[in-house]
Amino acid sequence: MSISADDVRDLHRFEIKILLALERLMKDYRWVPEDVLRRQTKLSESELAYRLGHLMQRNMVKSSAVPYKGYQMVFTGFDALALQGAVRKGSVTSLGSLIGVGKEATVYEAMGMGVVALKFHRIGQQSFQTVRRSRTYMPQYKHFPWIFASSFSAQQEYEALMALHADVSVPVPVDINRNLVVMTFIHGVPIVQATLENPDDVFADVVQNVAKAYHLGYIHGDLSEFNIMVDGKGVWLIDWPQWTDPSHPTAEDILLRDITNICTHFSRKYRVDAPVEETLAQVVG
Ligand SMILES: Nc1ncnc2c1ncn2[C@@H]1O[C@H](COP(=O)(O)OP(=O)(O)O)[C@@H](O)[C@H]1O
Ligand SMILES: [Mg+2]
């Protein structure tokens, strides 16, 4: 279930108030009790019930009757809060069409200062294990690791884009709010969908960008034909939340996997002469 422009535009200020209260209270409760929510929002019983009904209808909140009547915010509600935050700040002015629903993110085209891409990170319970391994402290949201994991994933991506965009061909980061990263929109397609006229040049361009990122301290970690876009002018490396520092113990394996993926793609699809070892040497050299 993803968020729609109407969903956010039509959110009433009391509904935003409820979502914000749930976000705070979910640090302490698995199910936020109705009376606690009422005290925090200062809404009347009937107003609260009406607004919660609306939020549940839109899949932003879910409820439980046992062990007591309680509420939780779910992903769509969290996305709505993030978008609301970006709209308030002015980095997003209107939500456009849905571009992609991946395993771990939903991406929209939108307007802000020009055309922007909105990437809502959605890291579920299982994937959280990976995040936990790379992180020593535990979040406040002990019952809701997805809130922490999704925001953490967004932060990781934002950090990489900030560090790289001046030198490496990646989207320019514009804003971050919770699990949402706002970045410049690339008017292109992932190379998996493209038929390149100059595959040798594109391959060289990719390798050069991977090398620059490596020397700035970033190994992509999920590089493949799905995360490289072309727009007629050049290549773009996207999808950075799982980057690794070159000093990490497994960095070498991760870099080798990234390079093997791109060499395999270019040699299979275009017969580009792309030996892995040589390409690796070019990147780290
Ligand atoms: N900045 C961007 N501009 C245009 N399209 C984008 C942008 N970022 C992502 N996309 C599109 O959304 C898709 C998914 O984004 P991606 O960052 O790869 O996340 P994930 O693979 O985790 O779902 C991409 O394949 C691409 O089509
Ligand atoms: Mg991707």
| Angstrom distance (rounded) from CA 77 to CA 83 | 10
Average pLDDT over residues 178-205: 97
Full set of structural domains in the chain with CATH: 5-76 (1.10.10.10), 93-184 (3.30.200.20), 189-284 (1.10.510.10)
Contact predicate 210/258, CB 8 Å: yes
**Residues in the chain, overall count:** 285
Ligand 2 mean position to 140 CA, how many Å?
28
- Of 239, 285, 235, 283, nearest to 259 by C-alpha is 283
Residue 29 CA, distance from chain mean position: 26
3-class secondary structure, 155: helix
Write the pLDDT tens digit of every residue in 58-80. Answer: 999 999 999 899 999 999 999 99
Q: Is 221 left (phi over 0), alpha (psi -120 to 50) or beta?
A: left
pLDDT at 138 > cutoff 60 = no
The residue to mutate among 176, 182, 239, 240, having the most atoms of ligand 1 within 8 angstroms of its beta carbon, is 239
Cβ-in-10-Å burial (0-12, 13-18, 19+) of 17 comes to: middle
Does residue 194 line the site of ligand 1, with CB under 6 A? no
Write the pLDDT tens digit of every residue in 221-280. Answer: 999 999 999 998 999 999 999 999 999 999 999 999 999 999 999 999 999 999 999 999
